[in-house]
Amino acid sequence: MQKLVNSKVLVTGGAGFIGSNIIEALLLQGNYVVCLDNFSTGKRQNIQPFLENPKFRMIEGDIRNPEDCKKAVEGVEYVLHQAALGSVPRSINDPLTTNEVNVTGFLNMLIATRDAGIKRFVYAASSSTYGDHPALPKREDIIGKPLSPYAITKYVNELYANVFSDLYGIETIGLRYFNVFGKRQDPDGAYAAVIPKFLKSLINGEAPVINGDGSHSRDFTYVENVVSINQLALLTQNPEAVNTVYNVAFGENTSLLELYDQLILNLSEFIPEVKSIKPVFGPTRKGDVLHSLASIEKASALLGYHPRYSLSQGLKEAIRWYYEALR
């Protein structure tokens, strides 16, 4: 895989789960990295290992503040915009804050990028943009009606990016993430993602709650695959590969019940007694799509994206990390 070296990169939301994994890789490759985060959902411990690195700079600030955005882009060559307020349920409970962060904050970062003369802006888009369109696998050029405020905000990001590319010549690339998981993903709180939430319950000897009957399926994507495509998006010199969006996934879907069985199988190597834990079934969540599966043909053809980690390979890595972190 191509790797970025000797470059100066801004990672917004760098104290978050995905952002901190991206920063770790970029620093290991000898890049200079600026992190902008307000720690609303990001964790200080996620960036703690980087603080002594002379090539790392931390800016505590908010993308809703234009001055913080302007400060963060000073002297950087690329922007990896990961900052957002995630979670469909959170957006249903508080649509205004989700919009302020995900739309106003996104626009602030685009303006700062434009004004600083930065050529390429790569941003975290979302599979939620596909909404109610039933076709599987999901292909980038066919979307449906959004099912949540969160989904609306992520689609608006794509519209703004396209307009800024057309009007101001910024090269933008949107990466529609599909259910990313891996080390440093927060297992706590009402809006925790399913894999860390299930793992924490199981490690504590508790029964996880599956929303619905367990038949919902997702294209679970290990975080190292996401790290790799962010770098490919920065490095591509193909003019056809910019000013567009890509699915970021492994290209296979797994039901929640199948996921649960894989978690039990892998975790039982560390905690044999988890085999006796049965899940509890709760109500289906509002705004959730039933099934999600990505076509990754476009990313493969234009960016050279070939994900190295399947769900089972990623789970082995993630479970080892969570077992050591949570026990």
Does residue 286 surpass a pLDDT of 80? no
pLDDT, residue 162, reads 98
What value, to the nearest 5°, has the Cα angle with vertex 168 and ends 164 and 172? 45
Q: What is the pLDDT of residue 282?
A: 87
The pLDDT confidence band at residue 283, using thresholds 50, 70 and 90, is confident
CA distance from start to end of the chain? 34
pLDDT at 193 (0 to 100)? 86
With H, G, I as helix, E, B as strand and everything else as coil, classify residue 288.
Answer: coil
Give exposure, 146-161, as e/b (b: 16+ Cβ within 10 Å). bbbbbbbbbbbbbebb
- In the set 150, 177, 260, 322, the catalytic residue is 150
Domain ranges of the chain: 8-178+223-251+294-310
Q: Give the pTM.
A: 0.95
130 is catalytic: no
Q: Which amino acid is at 28?
A: L
Q: Which two tokens stand for residue 64?
A: 């809703």
User: Over the stretch 164-188, which tens digit does the pLDDT of each residue have?
Assistant: 999 999 999 999 999 999 999 998 8
Q: State pLDDT tens for residues 240-261.
A: 999 999 999 999 999 999 999 9
Pick the CATH number of 8-178+223-251+294-310 from 3.40.50.720, 3.40.50.920, 3.30.565.10, 1.10.10.10: 3.40.50.720
